[in-house]
Amino acid sequence: MVRHLVGCAALIVAALTGAATASDWPERLSGHGGPVKSVVLSVDERRALTTSFDYSVILWDLSDGEARLAKRLIGHDAAANDARFLPDGDKAVSVGDDGAVLLWNLADGSVLSRVDTGDDKMLSLAVSASGRHVAVASWDRSAHLFEVRGEALVSAGRLTGHRNNVNAVAFSLDAETVFTGSSDGVIRSFSRRDGALLREVHVHGWGINVLRLLEGGEEIAFGATDGTVAVVDIASGEVAKQLASHDRPVLALAQDRDGGLLASGGGDGQIRVYDVRAWELLERYENPYGPVWGLALTSDRAVAFYAGLDDHVNAWQIAPRKPFEPVGSSFPRRFQVADTEDPGALQFARKCSVCHTLTPDDGNRAGPTLYGVFGRKVGSLPGYPYSQALLDADFTWTEKTISDLFDHGPDVVTPGTKMPIQRLKSVEERDALVRFLKQATTPGAAPAQIKKEDGK
């Protein structure tokens, strides 16, 4: 009863203030070609940014209640993991598995500035309230600091001393302090100005995956690999509030615009939404086909956008709750197929389908469609943004070269490319995959059979 009263109250307030209601939000953001890693709303909530395993960042126009793809931002050489708007709304910053930090011009989708930090993945980032400072969590056991100077992204130091990967970062309200969450189970605070370690704020023991500075700046929420969600008093380092644990690692934390709501999302597919001021659990949702990698809450308290293994972002209506809530995911997904009798189709689903489609009408994912790949010169499909290494390569895709790709790996056959390393040491498995691809990608092959084998 309480949760429905809260939801109705939120809608009444929204109506009085002229804010959006649940019906004014799109039910889905569809446009990526791979699992979506993150979703974030602009300050005015008329736009959104999403990142994906397909290497792209998408800028969405939500201004009329629909999700229109405004710009597809192409620049990362591996999975794009996180993106944030700068306060001016004209620029954004993103990070990915390629170890690159990109500053984007959202007006035309161009890369204004790029900093390559190395091969270690960068999982998440934070932008200061002024938009001048950027902190990035890196798997090189540090956090990287940058300054935005006009249209340039300038390195401003590293925060070191972690014993394992850094997964999360957050700024204090005045941006003088940077908080980090590491796989070593510790939340630390650093001076932004000189990078000095100030102290270990809290030792949890299990890896820290996500951080959120709460309203007022005196407490910080975290989610951990053991499913813990808790709030820490920054001054004392003590746990001020222990929230309900997830059954699997906590992968996402989100707040609404004024900081009154906090939502957690986990590998168990569960989302929990709390009223921060009363620490009351308002609503709970479960997607049995989880995980939840990214979350964004609307300021009217009506909708939570969540991202995971799907090629799209789903919208869950928080208030008022629907009496029946269909899950916006399908299962098994194309890369989770396990019941096919064709061993080649199984290998395609597991090794290739996240990045590639088989038919021309499906378009490109992280990699180009494989339709008609046999006999095609490498790096020659029109419209796909190949890396320079593939554009410069001079061979043709044949049974042998494709088999070699999975025998030796793309780092050997196509050095310098953005292809993820996928290898099959079994000759039988490689032969089965090549046979399947030869049949499935040949122009004129039966579409229904291809889609079935593709796990769609």
| Residue scoring higher pLDDT (420 or 383) | 383
- The answer, yes or no, to whether residue 391 has pLDDT greater than 70, is yes
Given strand 143-149, what is the order of strands in its sheet?
122-127, 133-138, 143-149, 152-159
Q: 3 falls in which pLDDT band (50, 70, 90)? A: very low
The pTM of this model reads 0.81
State the CATH architecture for 2-317. Answer: 7 Propeller (2.130)
Mean pLDDT on 125-136: 98
The topology (CATH level 3) of 334-453 is: Cytochrome Bc1 Complex; Chain D, domain 2 (1.10.760)
| Residue scoring higher pLDDT (305 or 442) | 305
Q: Which of 297-306, 321-330, 391-400, 442-451 has the highest mean pLDDT?
A: 297-306
What mean pLDDT, rounded, does the chain reach? 88
The two domains 2-317 and 334-453 share their CATH topology (first three levels equal):
no
How many Å apart are CA 32 and CA 51, to the nearest integer? 8
pLDDT in tens, 417-429: 767 667 788 899 8
pLDDT at 159: 98
Domain ranges of the chain: 2-317, 334-453
Peptide bond into 291 cis (omega under 30): yes
CA distances from 302 to 63, 74, 421 (A): 16, 32, 42
pLDDT in tens, 177-228: 999 999 999 999 999 999 999 999 999 999 999 999 999 999 999 999 999 9
How many Å apart are CA 285 and CA 283, to the nearest integer? 7
pLDDT in tens, 404-418: 988 888 878 888 776
